[in-house]
Structure 1
Amino acid sequence: MFDFKHIKGDLYGGITAGVVALPLALAFGEASGAGPIAGLWGAIITGFFAALFGGTNTQITGPTGPMVVVFAGLVGELTLERSASFTEVSGIIFAAVVLAGIFQILFGIFKVGQYIRLVPYPVISGFMSGIGVIIILLQASRIFGSEPDRGGVIAAIEAIPGAVMSPDLVATGIALLSLLIVFFWPKQVGKFIPGPLAALIIGTLLALPFDIPKLVAVLPTFETFADRLPPFTIPSIDRGVAFLVFEAAIILALLGAIDSLLTSLVADNATRTRHDSNRELIGQGIGNSIAGLFGAIPGAGATMRTMVNIKTGGMTRLSGMIHSLVLLAVVLALTPLAAEIPNAVLAGILIKVGWDIIDFRYIRRSHRGPRWDLVLMAVVLLVTVFVDLITAVGIGVFLAALGYVHAIAKDQLEAIGEERLVALTPEEKALYDAAGGRIRIFEFSGPLSFGAAADIAHRVRENVHGREVLILDFLQMPTIDVSAAYALQTILEDAEKEERHVLFADVSPQVKAQLDGLGISRLVKKGGLGLNRLEALKLASEILGTSPDAAGARGLDPAPAAG
């Protein structure tokens, strides 16, 4: 469970990752609508338990941009629908977090991790970039010292013109300074003092003499030590919001799973190790379930914090647990200092987070790749920003699958249209040539997709002019689906009308069983099934009379094929 051989590296990596996580946890907590302390507790709880039970040794878990966007959307919808404060609906909100954690545990138990990794890259790029855009839009007016009237992207966009026209100059100056620090902080200095932490300290010190919005307005006052501990939150769901909570839980679970497993892959590349994706999902689910029970916002594997941990020596799960203990010390001892942090500083830090999430690497190169992938990425990005994440991912996966099936079908149909005679043996080639162009061989390449099935019969019709015998070569077709099977039925029915013979060559037992089950085999003339390609060419030669022993072989009767 634990390896203390790397304790020094784990200590340094965990402490550094905790320092980096501090401003992000506060910023994400404030952006979520649950408050900065909920962000800190989210980083502490999810970070500790995901490291303890997860499947990626060096992963640092905590609040991330994608998770906070979904969580904040749920907070906004519920408070608006119930015309209530966050505290009044917190039981319902955190029920979604607990449920999301349970879903992630189930994903791990039922080994769903392998399927989550099948989401196409343009879809991942689109919704991650869309989340980055959302984070930037939500913080844009806060840079100028203003707050949107309500939650949501549209309200944030509407608030920008007014904020620009009447800015709070002090807040704007501090926010811009924070942006400059996080974007241009020297890498050499960043090894010791991370840019976000530097922005947090410098911006807070400069803002102390001024009256601008600070976290002191939203951080609770702790009179006793017990007040500093997270309150136990009883999850509650009523029928009126059950669908909303369930939908949010599904989105949080899927998004957290994708986010975490992508970070695990990055960690694998950096450490030359291999993570256990299903165990990682279970660890993430345990962390989020416990976080929801204690009023903490949900988390996922955080790429930047994970890389900081690795680069500064973190090697085992102890580093992730130490990162959480560092944040715990902050909550228990340094909360009064955190209360003086300006909202404008957190806005600057979050804008950098959003900027980093946008997939500029792909955007810069997208014009060199397939246009369909670029369109797919753009559609997912727009739907993510202006509709919601689950719709965006659903549309993206559907369109990606449609595009893939179309491409595969096109290749398969082109292959069917070509007669590749180079694969024939000398004996087979002699039989084929002797027929004088009256035999046509169609070779299927790989499993025939349902996308190609609709046009198979048409493609065969286009290529059988003047041919009296068709040989369908199934050597490279291990399986067949219903669509392709019924396409074969159409070919057989067309051949019957035009008095053309169809022979099946190299049919595998699996394909034979499927054709028998669907009743396609009975349409094949007697002797036309259960042949290899040489036998099919010999039989075709006998049918056409181009073989020395063709006598009596002309005109096969349509009868059920022998078992």
Structure 2
Amino acid sequence: MFKLDTSNLRGDITGGITAGVVALPLALALGVASGLGPIAGLYGAIAVGFFAALFGGTPSQISGPTGPMVVVLAGLFASLSGSAELVFTAVILAGLIQVAFGVLGVGQYIRLVPYPVVSGFMTGIGVIIIILQLGRLLGHEPPGGTLGALGYLPTALASINFTALILGIGTLVIAYKWPSNLGKYVPGALAALIIGTLVGLTLEGLPKLGEIPTGLPDLHMPVFNQETIWLVLEAAVILAVLGSIDSLLTSLVADNMTRTRHDSNRELIGQGIGNTVSGLIGGIAGAGATMRTVVNIRSGGRERISGMVHALLLLAVVLGLSPLAAQIPHAVLAGILVKVGLDIVDWNYLSKAHRGPRWDLALMALVLGFTVFVDLITAVAIGVVLAALAYVKQVATLQLEAIKNLPDLPLSEEEKTTLDHLGPRVRLFDFGGPLSFGAAADLGHHVREQVKNGTSAVILNFERVPFVDVSAARAVETIAHDASASGRTVFLSGMNEEIIEVLTGLGVLNGLKPEQCQPTRAEAIRAASALIEKGESETKTSKKNDLGLNQAQPASS
């Protein structure tokens, strides 16, 4: 686990240095956006970047502070009235939860979040980042929280610091329009940071970062407060889930670029260790960072050494270059962060969404709205639940349509001959696969609609059904009771041992005679035929007897 692959050492060093240069302005900006300061962003980039690379399951991935994580941290920092120690406690707990996710094998399930939900909350996070930076672009320091920043906008617009606004917009333009040929040597974000800071030195009246602590960080042990424990725990869970999703999505990007396959659970363990250490040294939470990972891979990085080199470069900055960072204007970082927010917005999906399913677009918009105006955990929870319900409805519809009746079934010659002879007196239903609880709700109604007057026997064939749940078992019980109440007989065929065990345990088979449960469809058809012929024979005998009795009666005078 700890063995380092040095086969691509030169490329890994080059990729790590390039990724570190790109990460520097982002770490500073995201640290400021979190409310904990630029040094917390650097410490987070160092801790998560190094330990996630060392222990994680995606060798080429670069980890560090990301926009989604910072949005949660900023909200928590505002809710806790600026208590940094409680925020660091949430980061530590989030890391431990991620380690637990990896140990329990949760990684494979986190990736099952539907794309419209992922698109909605990522786009929402991009919108939040932009909203939070609008006040700083105008030369002000808005209050924490999305709604607070929006509410402060009229005040900021009433007294715009045009020097800060021009500098911030200029920084944004440089970050976007930096020539690609120069970007090979100096990334656009770093160029924007350097040029913006140098211009800012010649201007007055600009809010700046100010003094940044230097040297090695202090140890921050977790603290717990009875009044805020649930708030901290909730934030920790959100950070853990969001960071895990963010990291694994970035891992998929890295897989596509390197033609490799990452280890999801190991990646979560690595991210968890990185976040735990980050919280202990006073850093903000982080995750796999898509842009930095792409830069690393394109610069030659392939193995975990590249992520470790990126973190060590940032450590060197903390130990020696922080006085220079103190001169960076807030407007410059705001310009860079606006680009980060715009990059997070899922423009690719938004441009094509009108050509896709309307439900997916509505779900994405709903999650986007909840992300911006409520909170992330509510947005993701509602999105996943609604997506799951929609999927269950679609599957249930297909399952009910797959309940095939006589004309559509592939029958043997014997079965076909027997059923042709019996005609409407027997109705055969074949379940094409697993019976979900969604299909079970309408199963009884569907069967009743198909059963006509004159039907004496109903056959339910389970040969292609691997299992049933409680809902499906109750639906079968309802069908059996309805049939019995209307004078019909239900036959069950093709049940495997698991289905028999479930139906027996729930008492569904208690009211059925042994001959009503047959091992195959053919035998169930024969049993139904025998039952009908026996009933008709008894009816004929009864009529003959009645006729004989009537003929034997003397004529009345």
Equivalent residue for 2:102, pick from 68, 88, 108: 108
Change (3 A) 1:269 1:420: farther
Equivalent residue for 2:303, pick from 285, 306, 316: 316
Query: Computing the radius of gyration over CA atoms, which structure comes out larger, 1 or 2?
Result: 2
Aligned to 1:375: 362
Partner letter of residue 124 of structure 1? V
Aligned to 2:553: none
Partner letter of residue 444 of structure 1? F
Deviation at 1:553, TM superposition (A): 12
Q: Is the 8 A contact 2:139 2:207 kept in 1?
A: no
Deviation at 1:421, TM superposition (A): 2.9
Partner letter of residue 456 of structure 1? L
Deviation at 1:118, TM superposition (A): 1.4
Aligned to 2:439: 452
Q: Is the 8 A contact 1:179 1:349 kept in 2?
A: yes
Change (3 A) 1:475 1:90: same
Cα separation, 2, equivalents of 1:258 and 1:538: 55
Change (3 A) 1:544 1:216: closer
1:162-561 to 2 correspondence within 5 Å?
162-217=155-210, 219-220=211-212, 227-416=214-403, 418-419=405-406, 421-466=408-453, 467-545=455-533
Equivalent residue for 1:95, pick from 89, 100, 103: 89
Q: Is the 8 A contact 2:167 2:331 kept in 1?
A: yes
Identify unmatched segments of 5+ residues in structure 2: 542-557
Partner letter of residue 492 of structure 1? A
Deviation at 1:554, TM superposition (A): 11
Q: Secondary structure at the match of 1:416?
A: coil
- Residue by residue, what CA displacement relative to the aligned partner does 1:202-232 show, whole Å, maximum 9, x if unpaired? 1111111112334343x33x5xxxx521121
- Residue by residue, what CA displacement relative to the aligned partner does 1:227-285 show, whole Å, maximum 9, x if unpaired? 52112112211101000111011111111111111111111111011111111111111
Change (3 A) 1:216 1:343: closer
Cα separation, 1, equivalents of 2:170 and 2:10: 35
Deviation at 1:471, TM superposition (A): 0.9
Q: Is the 8 A contact 1:542 1:551 kept in 2?
A: no
Q: Secondary structure at the match of 2:462?
A: strand
Q: Secondary structure at the match of 2:57?
A: coil
- Residue by residue, what CA displacement relative to the aligned partner does 1:37-76 show, whole Å, maximum 9, x if unpaired? 1111110111011111111100101000000000111111
Cα separation, 2, equivalents of 1:270 and 1:68: 27
Partner letter of residue 239 of structure 2? L
Aligned to 1:50: 52
Q: Is the 8 A contact 2:405 2:428 kept in 1?
A: no
Partner letter of residue 487 of structure 1? A
Cα separation, 2, equivalents of 1:57 and 1:230: 27
TM-score (norm 2): 0.94
Q: Is the 8 A contact 2:491 2:518 kept in 1?
A: no
Partner letter of residue 249 of structure 1? A
Cα separation, 2, equivalents of 1:403 and 1:362: 20
Aligned to 2:552: none
Equivalent residue for 2:61, pick from 59, 62, 82: 59
Equivalent residue for 2:19, pick from 17, 20, 31: 17
- Residue by residue, what CA displacement relative to the aligned partner does 1:63-115 show, whole Å, maximum 9, x if unpaired? 00000000111111101xxxxxx4xx222221111111111111111111111
Partner letter of residue 126 of structure 2? G
TM-score (norm 1): 0.93
Percent of residue pairs bearing the same amino acid type: 56
Aligned to 1:83: none
Aligned to 1:121: 115
Change (3 A) 1:420 1:257: farther
Q: Is the 8 A contact 1:66 1:255 kept in 2?
A: yes
Q: Is the 8 A contact 2:98 2:244 kept in 1?
A: yes
Q: Secondary structure at the match of 2:261?
A: coil
Cα separation, 1, equivalents of 2:333 and 2:540: 86
Cα separation, 2, equivalents of 1:418 and 1:330: 73
* RMSD over aligned Cα atoms: 1.8
Change (3 A) 1:518 1:216: closer
Change (3 A) 1:447 1:520: same
Q: Is the 8 A contact 2:248 2:264 kept in 1?
A: yes
Q: Is the 8 A contact 2:171 2:332 kept in 1?
A: yes
Cα separation, 2, equivalents of 1:332 and 1:91: 23
Cα separation, 1, equivalents of 2:519 and 2:247: 52
Partner letter of residue 145 of structure 2? G
Q: Is the 8 A contact 1:472 1:505 kept in 2?
A: yes
Aligned to 1:156: 149
Q: Is the 8 A contact 2:518 2:524 kept in 1?
A: no
Partner letter of residue 206 of structure 1? V
Cα separation, 1, equivalents of 2:426 and 2:269: 59
- Residue by residue, what CA displacement relative to the aligned partner does 1:138-194 show, whole Å, maximum 9, x if unpaired? 00121111221x210011112223323432111111111111112222223222211
Q: Is the 8 A contact 2:60 2:303 kept in 1?
A: yes
Q: Secondary structure at the match of 2:492?
A: strand
Deviation at 1:290, TM superposition (A): 0.8
Aligned to 1:558: none
Q: Is the 8 A contact 1:116 1:258 kept in 2?
A: yes
Q: Is the 8 A contact 1:127 1:384 kept in 2?
A: yes
Change (3 A) 1:427 1:553: farther
Q: Is the 8 A contact 1:141 1:160 kept in 2?
A: yes
